[in-house]
Amino acid sequence: MDFFAGEVLYFNKPLDWTSFDLVSKFRNQLSKKLKVKKIKVGHAGTLDPKATGVLIVCTGKATKRIEEFQDQTKEYVATLKLGATTPSYDLEKEIDQTYPVDHITLEKVEKVLSTFVGTIQQVPPVFSACKIDGKRAYEIARLGNEAPLKAKTLVIDALELLEYTLPEIKIRVVCSKGTYIRALARDIGIALDSGAHLIALERTRIGQVTLDQCICPDDIETFLNRATIITEDQ
């Protein structure tokens, strides 16, 4: 493997790690293996700390392909808790409001989910990396200020109900670049005349890359030891 000319690797990001945490761990171990102080490493498509799953990492000249991977279709499996919301729309923040769920039925959930398939408008979460006048939205929100974000046009290719055990539902989402599943959970809750937030999220696919192709961070050292590596002076 030639990490300087560029390699594309697939990782399974653990819970409560940032995407940068994973990239940093891999870069440090790769640098030690290559006996270099610096090598370019980047990731395509950020995952929130409370999300797990497929993260594509590029090295060397392959970092030029990051945008290519970011543009590919993503697939997620998400668990939503109905009847409660949080400011971040996931477990990063504490519950701020509760809502009734007695009126929600399986038929109502299936009908609401169907309305999100196709081209939709979505307002990103205030606790997100979207930029407002050069500042990240989450930086503004953490100061207690308003973070006005504009709706973006997205495409939901598929939205399937996997499990229905009120107050929780599990869904499979196939969507375009830029889709916030946290925001989708918020909007599903509103459409159900209730509230909702994410309690689990796993990215199961980017393009043709699936979880079973991914390396766990604990296996990075073993992976590098087994790889046939080309160094800069070869």
Buried b / exposed e along 192-204 (16+ C-beta atoms within 10 A): bebbbbbbbbbbb
Q: How confident is the model at residue 216 (pLDDT cuts 50, 70, 90)?
A: very high
Residue 219's contacts (CB-CB under 8 Å, 6 or more residues apart) are: none
Stretch 159-182: mean pLDDT, rounded?
96
Note the Cα 67 to chain centre separation in Å: 15
Q: How confident is the model at residue 76 (pLDDT cuts 50, 70, 90)?
A: very high
Q: Which of 2, 16, 21, 48 is catalytic?
A: 48
Residue 43's contacts (CB-CB under 8 Å, 6 or more residues apart) are: 19, 20, 22, 23, 55, 56, 57, 58, 66
- Beta-bridged to residue 168, according to DSSP, are 81, 165
Does residue 138 carry a pLDDT above 70?
Answer: no
pLDDT in the model for residue 130: 57
Q: CA-CA distance, 106 to 28, in Å (whole number)?
A: 48
What angle do the packed helices 181-191 and 106-114 form, to 10 degrees? 120
Q: CA-CA distance, 185 to 164, in Å (whole number)?
A: 15
Phi and psi torsions of 24, nearest 5°? -65, -45
- Cβ(200)–Cβ(106) under 8 Å? no
pLDDT in the model for residue 51: 95
Q: Model confidence over 195-209: pLDDT tens digits?
A: 999 999 999 999 999
Stretch 89-102: mean pLDDT, rounded?
95
Which amino acid does the sequence have at 88?
S
- Whole-structure pTM value: 0.90
Does residue 113 carry a pLDDT above 60?
Answer: yes
- Cβ(76)–Cβ(185) under 8 Å? no
Residue % of the chain over a pLDDT of 90: 78
Q: Model confidence over 7-37: pLDDT tens digits?
A: 999 999 999 999 999 999 999 999 999 999 8
pLDDT in the model for residue 150: 80
Q: What is the mean pLDDT of the chain?
A: 90
Stretch 46-53: mean pLDDT, rounded?
92
Stretch 64-86: mean pLDDT, rounded?
96
Task: Name the 3-class secondary structure at 52.
Answer: strand
Annotated active-site residue 16? The verdict is no
> If you search the block for the tokens 């989402």, which residue do you land on?
173
Tell which phi-psi region holds residue 95, choosing left (phi > 0), alpha (psi between -120 and 50) or beta.
beta
> If you search the block for the tokens 């923040």, which residue do you land on?
93
pLDDT in the model for residue 232: 61
